[in-house]
Amino acid sequence: MHAVVMESLEEYLAGTLKPAAQREIETHLNACDACRDEIRTMQDVSQLFLSLRPEEPATPSPGFYLKLMEQVGQRQAAPSVGNIFGLGFAFGRKLIFASLLTLAVLGSYLVLRESGYAPGPSPEAVMAQQESPAFDSAPAQDNMLVTLTAYEH
Amino acid sequence: MGTLAGTLTLPTFGSQVASKTRVDYQNTPEGALVRRAQAGEEAAFREIVERYQSKVFSIIHGIVRQRNDVEDIAQQVFAKVYLSLKSFDFRSSLITWIYKITVNECFDYLRKRKVRKLVYESDLSEDEVRRVENSEPATDRQIAADSSLAQRDYVLKLLTRVSEEERMLLMLKEVEGFSVEELAERTGMNENTIKVKLFRARQKLVKAAQRLDRTPGLVPG
C-alpha cells in the first residue's frame, strides 16, 4: 500500500477525513489498482465486525458474584505444579538461575581440563614415522601378522 | 494487493497527529479502587465486578452468542482478573485490561468448542451428520440469522490469524467504535504506534481473507 493511503488509513476507513485529504486519497485509489483492492477488502472486513456487536444487552444472574467467588476459591485451592513441590514463583526462578550457573561453571571446568592434557605428536612427526624405513620393516610386518592371527582365534 | 506493502517502509503515520499526555491511571479514583483490590480488600474487587460485569457480558455475548455459556465465560474472566490483579501495572485503563482478558477468554472458549465439535462429528456416521444438518427447515428469518452467523464465524476465523494485542485493538476500534485518539488514551500507547499496529493487523486480515476465499465452503454469507 502506498504511503498516501497508509498515512490516513484509519481516518479514511472511519470516514472522518477532511474533504481535501479525502479527495487526495480517492485520486490515488482511482489510479492504483493494488491500493484500491486492498482498501476494498479492508472495508469489507471492517463491515463484518458489526456482526460482533451484541444485539441485546446480556445481564448477569443475581447470584453471579457468589458463584464467581466460589470458582476463585476452587482455583486457589487447586494445587499448581509449583505448589506441589512447595515452590513459589520467585524461588523457582532463583532455582533455575542457580542450576544454569552451576552448569556453566562445570562446563568451563571441563573445557579447561581438556586443554590441560599433554599434546600428542604433531602431524609432521606422525608422517615422518610412517615414512621411516622401520615402519615397513620385516619385524613390524611380522608383528602385524601375529596380531591378525590372534584376532582369528 | 499486499505486494507493495512488503517493499515499502512504513511512513511516520501522522504529521497531523498531536501527541497527547498519557493518562496516569494510578492517580485516578479507579486507580485507588484497583489498589484497594490489589491489597486484598474484597469489597473493592466486588465494586470492580459490579462496575464492569454488564460490559463483559455484552462483549462475550457479541462474540460467542451462546447465552448458556456467557455466564461461565464471564466467571472465568473475573476469576482471572481476581487472580492476576496484582500484576496489573496501570499502563492501560482497567477496562482495557479486562477487555483483553475477555476477548482472549472468548477465543479460548471457541477453540475448545471447535475441538469438541470435531470429536463429536468424528463419532457420527455420514447419515447421522446429514440428519442433524437437515433437522430444521429454513425460514427467511432463519436465513438472515444464518447469514449473520456466517459473517460472525468468518470474521472470528480471520481474527484467529492476528496476535492477541492486534485482536484487542481491532475489536476496540471496529466493534466498540473508539477513535485512534481514544485507543491511545485507553491503552497507554502512542497514537502513531496504534496506527502502525492497526495497519499491520488489517493487512494480516486481508491476507487471511484472501486465503479463506480461495478455500471452498468458507465464503462469507
Please give the radius of gyration of chain B, using alpha carbons only, rounded to the nearest integer: 21
B157 assigned to some structural domain = no
CATH label of the domain that carries residue B65:
1.10.1740.10
Please, what's the b/e burial string for A64-98 (b: 16 or more CB within 10 A of its CB; e: otherwise)?
bbeebbebbeeeeeeeeeeeeeeeeeeeeeeeeee
The values of phi and psi at residue B75, to 5°, are: -65, -45
CA distance B40 to chain A (A): 13
CB pairs under 8 A between A and B: 129
Report the C-alpha gap between A133 and B72 in whole angstroms: 90
> Is A46 a residue whose pLDDT tops 50?
yes
B142 assigned to some structural domain = no
Q: How many domains does chain B have?
A: 2
Q: Which residues contact B4 (CB under 8 A, 6 or more apart)?
A: A1, A2, A34, A35
Interface of B with A in 166-195 (CB under 8 A): 170-171, 173-175, 179-180, 195
Among B5, B8, B83, the residue with its CB nearest the CB of A75 is B83
B208 assigned to some structural domain = yes
CA distance B213 to chain A (A): 11
Task: Determine the pLDDT at residue B215.
Answer: 61
Backbone dihedral region for residue B150 (phi beyond 0: left; psi -120 to 50: alpha; all else: beta)? alpha
CA distance A11 to chain B (A): 9
Domain boundary (B126, B154, B171) is at B126
B217 assigned to some structural domain = yes
Task: Note whether B89 and B132 are within 8 A (CB).
Answer: no
Domain boundary (B102, B126, B150) is at B126
Question: What are the CA-CA distances from residue A26 to residues A6, A32, B31 (Å)?
Answer: 13, 10, 45
Q: Does B106 lie in the same domain as B47?
A: yes
Give A87-144 pLDDT, tens digit per residue.
556 677 788 888 899 999 998 888 887 766 666 677 777 777 766 666 556 666 666 6
Judged by CB atoms closer than 8 Å, whether chains meet at B8 and A48 is answered as: no
Q: Does B33 lie in the same domain as B104?
A: yes
Dihedral angle computed from the Cα positions of residues B151, B57, B103 and B69, in that order, rounded to the nearest 10 degrees: -70
B79 assigned to some structural domain = yes
Q: Does B115 lie in the same domain as B182?
A: no
Q: Does B196 lie in the same domain as B118?
A: no
Domain that holds residue B35: 22-126
For residue B37, which residues of chain A lie inside 8 Å, CB to CB?
none
Among A45, A52, A60, the residue with its CB nearest the CB of B205 is A45
- Closest-CA residue to A67 (of B73, B66, B75, B54): B75
Judged by CB atoms closer than 8 Å, whether chains meet at A49 and B174 is answered as: yes
Q: Does B26 lie in the same domain as B112?
A: yes
CA distance B2 to chain A (A): 7
Task: Note whether A31 and A2 are within 8 A (CB).
Answer: no
For residue B148, which residues of chain A lie inside 8 Å, CB to CB?
51
Q: Does B61 lie in the same domain as B122?
A: yes
Judged by CB atoms closer than 8 Å, whether chains meet at B58 and A58 is answered as: yes
Task: Determine the pLDDT at residue B27.
Answer: 83
Task: Note whether A21 and A11 are within 8 A (CB).
Answer: yes
Interface of B with A in 70-89 (CB under 8 A): 70-71, 74-76, 78-79, 82-83
CA distance A78 to chain B (A): 13
Task: Determine the pLDDT at residue B8.
Answer: 41
Q: Does B172 lie in the same domain as B122?
A: no
B interface mutation test: which of A68, A69, A75, A76 has the most B CBs within 10 A? A68
Question: What are the CA-CA distances from residue A1 to residues B10, B15, B179, B221 (Å)?
Answer: 10, 18, 22, 27
**What percentage of chain A exceeds 90 in pLDDT?**
24
Q: Does B122 lie in the same domain as B26?
A: yes
Q: Does B109 lie in the same domain as B39?
A: yes
Report the C-alpha gap between B105 and B91 in whole angstroms: 21
Q: Does B35 lie in the same domain as B122?
A: yes
Report the C-alpha gap between A68 and B56 in whole angstroms: 14
Among A49, A56, A60, the residue with its CB nearest the CB of B53 is A60
CA distance A95 to chain B (A): 22
pTM listed for this prediction: 0.68
A38: amino acid identity, one letter: E
Task: Note whether B198 and B170 are within 8 A (CB).
Answer: yes
For residue B63, which residues of chain A lie inside 8 Å, CB to CB?
52
Task: Determine the pLDDT at residue A56.
Answer: 78
Report the C-alpha gap between B180 and B17 in whole angstroms: 10
Task: Determine the pLDDT at residue B107.
Answer: 95
B138 assigned to some structural domain = no
Q: Does B28 lie in the same domain as B119?
A: yes
Interface of B with A in 24-43 (CB under 8 A): none
- Closest-CA residue to B6 (of B214, B210, B199): B199
Task: Determine the pLDDT at residue B6.
Answer: 40
Q: Does B26 lie in the same domain as B77?
A: yes
Task: Determine the pLDDT at residue B97.
Answer: 95
B10 assigned to some structural domain = no
Q: What is the mean pLDDT of each run of 10 residues along chain B (221 residues)?
A: 42 51 80 93 95 94 88 95 93 94 95 72 60 52 66 92 95 94 92 94 93 62 39
CATH label of the domain that carries residue B205:
1.10.10.10
B133 assigned to some structural domain = no
